[in-house]
């Protein structure tokens, strides 16, 4: 079984993260920015062909996780390369990378006919989620708990602000930008199964689509 080298400082302490924990989380979020590649692929390939590329990639990511779960050499390889970034809860479960890829795939399945929504929600995933986590870990002094999950007002405010800015920069009306940012914050704060990396793009996408059609 993979062993996480550090706990999740966002949930395991009422104090701000240590410098080491913050560096590890920064590495996680820099890796998380790879989700921008999914947006780049969508813009390059186009909505009509994106699933033909994304479905095999999702299968490859799943196979990678299966090797980690079921083979000793797979576990050892992942531990050697990425063990310092793997949280304790991910040791025997799918990683954030798997759920980020799944979230992007679901966005393409449901919203590919609406490129503006795809762009906005994938930027939420890449930028809003990172801002929420890093600001919360660095400057979060006022925690609150939602169904046992610790968050900070500072981190949540940062995530909402970035999501609002993303919506406005993507050309949404102020009302839609507010609705999208609120949906992002709900997905980011609430401990919805299986993982927030699935819901952060999908829930706002559904809200934006519904609001734009209403």
pLDDT band at 183 (very low <50, low <70, confident <90, very high): very high
Whether the predicted pLDDT of 36 surpasses 80: yes
Confidence of residue 141 (pLDDT cuts 50, 70, 90): very high
Tell me the whole-structure pTM to 2 decimals. 0.86
Average pLDDT rounded to a whole number, residues 120-134:
95
Query: What are the pLDDT digits (tens) for 68-81?
Result: 988 988 888 887 87
Other Cβ atoms less than 10 A from the Cβ of 161: the count is: 16
So what's the pLDDT on residue 17?
61
- Give CB contacts under 8 A, 24+ apart, made by 11-18: 11/149, 11/150, 14/143, 14/150, 16/137, 16/138, 16/139, 16/140, 16/141, 17/137, 17/138
Q: At what angle do helices 35-45 and 50-70 cross, to 10 degrees?
A: 150
Query: Is residue 203 predicted with pLDDT exceeding 70?
Result: yes
Q: What is the mean pLDDT of the chain?
A: 88
Highest mean pLDDT among 79-83, 84-88, 155-159: 155-159
d(CA 152, CA 156): 6
Assign 5 a pLDDT band (cuts: 50, 70, 90): very low
Domain residue spans in the chain? 9-213
Q: Which range (57-61, 134-138, 166-170) has the least confidence?
A: 134-138
**pLDDT in the model for residue 2:** 30
pLDDT of residue 9: 44
- Rounded to 10 degrees, what is the CA torsion of 199, 200, 206, 211? 150
């Amino acid at each position: 079984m993979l062993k996480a080298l550090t706990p999740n400082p966002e949930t395991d302490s009422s104090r701000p993260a240590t410098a080491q924990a913050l560096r590890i989380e920064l590495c996680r979020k820099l890796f998380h920015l790879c989700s921008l590649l999914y947006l780049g692929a969508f813009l390059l390939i186009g909505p009509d062909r994106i699933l033909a590329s994304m479905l095999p990639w999702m299968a490859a990511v799943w196979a990678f996780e299966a090797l980690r779960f079921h083979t000793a050499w797979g576990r050892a390889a992942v531990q050697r390369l990425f063990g310092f970034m793997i949280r304790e809860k991910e040791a025997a479960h799918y990683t954030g990378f798997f759920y980020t890829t799944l979230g992007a795939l679901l966005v393409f399945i449901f919203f590919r006919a609406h490129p503006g929504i795809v762009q906005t929600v994938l930027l939420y995933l890449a930028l809003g989620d990172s801002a929420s986590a890093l600001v919360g870990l660095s400057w979060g002094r006022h925690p609150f708990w939602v169904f046992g999950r610790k968050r900070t007002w500072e981190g949540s405010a940062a995530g909402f602000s970035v999501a609002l800015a993303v919506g406005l920069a993507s050309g949404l009306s102020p009302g839609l930008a507010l609705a999208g940012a609120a949906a992002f914050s709900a997905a980011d704060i609430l401990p919805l199964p299986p993982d927030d990396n699935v819901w952060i793009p999908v829930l706002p996408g559904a809200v934006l689509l519904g609001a734009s059609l209403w």
